[in-house]
Chain A
Amino acid sequence: MRVTVSLPDNITKRLFEESRRTGLKVSQIVKTSLEEHMEMPEEVKVTPVALWKLRGRRYARGPSITARRKKVGTYYVVDLDKLQV
């Protein structure tokens, strides 16, 4: 549903700054803020929950728990019927 609300200039400015900084849509930030304010977390429809969170962001933030700076392992998915193990 589309709604129209009036916001003070300083909040509107912060909202658009946050949108540019995070890459999230303005509506997504408003929605998340309202859910938190009303203690109504969005139902998780994708598991693992980290995948669901990543899809709401453009980038994962914060450091990895490892000290390394890049992936060095090799990972790929295959069809089971192509595998002997």
Chain B
Amino acid sequence: MSSTWTSYKYREDGILPDGKKLPNIPIFNLVFIRNDVKKALIATAFIDTGFDETVYANDDMLNFLEGLEPEAKESLKGVEKEVECEVYKIKTNLITEGLKLIKGLGRVKVFVPEDPANLSDDIVIGREILNLLTLRLDGRYAEISV
């Protein structure tokens, strides 16, 4: 049976003050679903094979999770320090850029640092999810096989 590939164009990451262009970032799109408030967060997810876990939150996720009780507390080991996190479990689907469902990922652990200074700029997806997928990265497009 042949597989179908879904493509996501890399995002540009800007230019440093010294003029150096940062490498573009592979992404795919996710939707996080809260049935209790009938809301969904449609998000760009940054592929980070260096991140051991599932999802690391940014400020958009923080606001989306307001009012939910964390299911656990865990610490992540950062480059220089331990980052204490609240862990939420959120129903998550992989979607196309046109918001079409590709694959349900179930209730995914979302790590929210307790100190807002440790929030990521963007939502990051780590290997606990990436290892469930067949990915193809070529520097221009991230492709997922379903």
Contact = CB atoms under 8 A, between A and B. Distances in A.
A85 B78 contact: no
B70 interface: yes
Interface string B18-34: 00001001010001011
Nearest to B60: A75
- Which of A48, A53, A78, A83 has the most chain B CB atoms inside 10 A of its CB? A48
Contact of B122 (A49, A61, A73, A79): A73
A69 B13 CA distance: 9
A37 interface: no
Contact of A47 (B12, B33, B69, B118): B69
A64 B121 contact: yes
Interface string A34-72: 000000000000111111011001001111111011111
B117 interface: yes
A77 B68 contact: no
A4 interface: no
Contact of A50 (B44, B93, B114): B114
Interface residues of A, number: 33
B66 interface: yes
B63 A51 contact: yes
- Which of B12, B27, B59, B69 has the most chain A CB atoms inside 10 A of its CB? B59
Interface stretch (B94-102, B128-136, B138-146): B94-102
Contact of B65 (A48, A54, A66): A48
Contacts, number: 140
Contacts of A53: 114-116
Nearest to A67: B22
A53 B59 CA distance: 12
A80 B51 CA distance: 29
Q: Which 6 A-B pairs have the closest CB atoms?
A: A62-B117, A73-B44, A75-B60, A85-B101, A73-B122, A50-B116
21 contacts: A50-B62, A50-B116, A51-B116, A54-B116, A60-B117, A63-B117, A64-B120, A65-B120, A72-B11, A72-B121, A73-B122, A75-B61, A76-B42, A77-B41, A77-B64, A78-B39, A81-B38, A83-B42, A83-B99, A84-B101, A85-B93
